[in-house]
Structure 1
Amino acid sequence: MDIQLFADPEKTEKPTPRRRKKAREEGQVATSRELNMAVSFIASAFAMRFLFQRLVLALEKTSFEFFTLNGYEQQLDSFGQNLLWQFTHVLLIVAMIFMVTILAAVFVGSLQTKFFFSFKPLRIDLKRINPVEGFKRMFSLRSLFELIKSIFKMVIVGYVGYSIVRKNWKTFALYSDMDLFEASKKLFVLLYEVMFQCGLALLALAFFDYFYQWWEFEKSLRMTRQELKEEYREVEGSPEIKRKQREIMIRLARGRMLQEVPKADVVVTNPTHIAVALKYDAEEMEAPIVLAKGLDELAQKIVEIARQNNIPIVRNPQVARQLYYSVEVGEQIPPTLYRAVAEILAYVYSLKT
């Protein structure tokens, strides 16, 4: 067997926001089941602490109704309905305890996932039955951690339960002298103490587990350089496509710019390497604006369009260079060029008179 099959490419790059978003959409978030379990233990303990008296009384009344046949001398239907009501009351109290436990687990789980729910982790994934992947999971750091964590949980729960039972061992002998239901109350109190202490111990373990799960989740999100390049290509597109898109945009922009040349009042040239088309309307503009500009072939195209539309062409290399390099298409000329451009426009207007 090729050992390299078990080797993963080195993941040295931090996860991108897109990688995090995609993982979240797939239902992959950092969560700790131990935290859910610990909070469930504590919540169920508190629920029992506040409801156990009602539960014991309900059990007492139900047992009394059943074993003494109280009301049996009355109609059989009335006796059955009364017994059913007492039994239902017991079930409702038990259901309340379970409901508190479930709601606590759901709430803590929702807090960990920031109230995000996804059914995608429930989908069938053929990769999970891949023997190579399964072998890697069996001998991974996560499997070792889960094994140690399970052993540690059993030790914690066993030790806490043993210490509490040992502390109350002498009182067990007194239960035989108590009433059945009084002894039940004592047992409920003891059970509450065991569950609450176990919950606190598991809660301490859960905090360490949560930070480990977060660390492992962040590690799983890390990317190789190849993955980072592929994601960049998916988001930004390949360089070839981007270059073609840029060429198309430039071509379209040039086409729109050349359509404005016939509206110009004058075209200032270098004379052949630079051409800048200017327009000025004293009623609408504060200063002349650049309608179009270009170098070499584009400059010749501007000059050609200007000649076709009988637009004056003025050769002024210095002004043409300043206009081309300091003013963008659609912008007004700077104050430093007011005098030079004014002289050119005055010359053009003189030709028309």
Structure 2
Amino acid sequence: MSDSEDKSSKTEQPTEKKINDTIEKGNLPVSREAPILASLLATMAFIAFQVRDGAGDLLLVLKTTFENPLQWDLNTSADALHVLHMLALEAARFVLPAAVFFVVGGVVSSVLQNAPQINFERIRPKASHISLSAGFKRIFGLRGLTEFGKSVFKFLTIGVVVGTLLMSGLPTMMRTMFADPVLVPELILELAMTLLSGVSIATIVLVAADLAMSRIHWRRDLKMSKQEIKDENKQAEGDPMVKGRQRQIARDRVRRRMMTDVPFATLVIANPTHYAIALRYVREEGGAPMVVAKGTDLIALKIREIAEANDVPVIEDKLLARSMYDHVEIDQMIPPQFFKAIAELIYFLHSRTGSKVGVATA
């Protein structure tokens, strides 16, 4: 079956089991634009909260360091390493908040899309990841063309936004040529924040659209054929052939156990050839008579044969045998509606044989 035929047969919505299995494997709908938006917002936060104050402190350290180099004793390599270590700490103090912003932004962008989970399935080596044919399909297939179209649209949209903002800010940039140089950094920061704000707003729209499209594609890829749904239901309920075999084995075990209990029965009630119920009644055991075996046709004949071979009385009563068969279960006492009839039969056997029916025998 070709890929097109296989996809055309997948017309049914995915089941809950298919969705849960897919999620457990780490296959979740994600937007590739969300991390980009998180990076833009992290950059804006870094500029707003760190650059304005932190840059001044860093520049002051650099100015103090390089304006008066004679203050540093650089006679040995250890002295040079000491100066470099100090400068590295100052630079790290300035850059560390940026790293924190980017890490937090990346984590938040991932958590907001899907619940966090630990899954090693996505990083497990797969032959398809290094397959040239699979890679060609990913790049030039429908999904690859879709991603290319999204990239072109994103580039054009952001290009238009940036171009519009730059054109509107062109007079301000021209005035910086005649402004006090001290004011230039502030103007550059304002322009950068304006550009980042415009790009972020445009990216928010792209992320919303990409999230919707990714979930639509994800649900579409999970669609199932009618045969797949049947196979899943069969797997959930169990293979009918296997279940039938298990039931057959259980019936065989019950039948063998029944036959071993028939010799210890008190009497057998039979419908000459179609039904047979073996009952055991021992007064010392208490309770009503117990059903030790029952069966129809060949099993009924086998019960009668074993009973006669072990001198267990067999009483033929068509109506009673048929009625009891439908209402009694093996290893259970007979229902109350049969107490009188069975009591009369036991009394009859006692009076006929003179033996004490109901006394335990081995």
The TM-score bracket by the shorter chain reads 0.7 to 0.9
- For 1:98, the equivalent position in structure 2 comes to 99
Matched-pair contact (CA < 8 Å) for 1:61–1:86: no
Paired residues for 1:118-129 under 5 Å: 118-122=119-123, 123-126=125-128, 129=131
The worse-fitting range, judged by mean Cα deviation, of 331-340 and 232-241 is 232-241
- For 2:36, the equivalent position in structure 1 comes to 37
- For 1:7, the equivalent position in structure 2 comes to 4
- For 2:73, the equivalent position in structure 1 comes to 75
Distance in 2 of aligned mates of 1:31 and 1:110: 10
* TM-score in terms of structure 1 length: 0.81
* TM-score in terms of structure 2 length: 0.79
CA offset at residue 139 of structure 1? 4.4
CA offset at residue 274 of structure 1? 0.9
Mark the CA change 1:84 to 1:229 in structure 2 (over 3 Å): closer, same or farther.
same
Mark the CA change 1:100 to 1:344 in structure 2 (over 3 Å): closer, same or farther.
farther
Matched-pair contact (CA < 8 Å) for 2:278–2:294: yes
- For 1:216, the equivalent position in structure 2 comes to 217
The worse-fitting range, judged by mean Cα deviation, of 299-308 and 222-231 is 222-231
1:114 counterpart SS class: coil
1:294 counterpart SS class: strand
- For 1:85, the equivalent position in structure 2 comes to 86
- For 1:52, the equivalent position in structure 2 comes to 51
Paired residues for 1:101-116 under 5 Å: 101-116=102-117
**Structure 2: unaligned runs, 5 residues or longer:** 357-362
CA offset at residue 86 of structure 1? 3.9
**Structure 1: unaligned runs, 5 residues or longer:** none
Provide the aligned length of Structure 1 versus Structure 2. 347
**2:283 corresponds to 1:278:** no
Matched-pair contact (CA < 8 Å) for 1:58–1:86: no
- For 1:292, the equivalent position in structure 2 comes to 293
Task: Kindly provide the CA deviation profile for residues 54-104 of structure 1, in whole angstroms up to 9, marking residues without a partner as x.
Answer: 33123312331343136x335337786456424422234323313322332
Distance in 1 of aligned mates of 2:58 and 2:341: 105
Distance in 2 of aligned mates of 1:250 and 1:170: 94
- For 1:159, the equivalent position in structure 2 comes to 160
2:62 counterpart SS class: helix
Q: Give the letter aligned to residue 245 of structure 1.
A: Q
Matched-pair contact (CA < 8 Å) for 2:55–2:94: no
Mark the CA change 1:265 to 1:121 in structure 2 (over 3 Å): closer, same or farther.
same
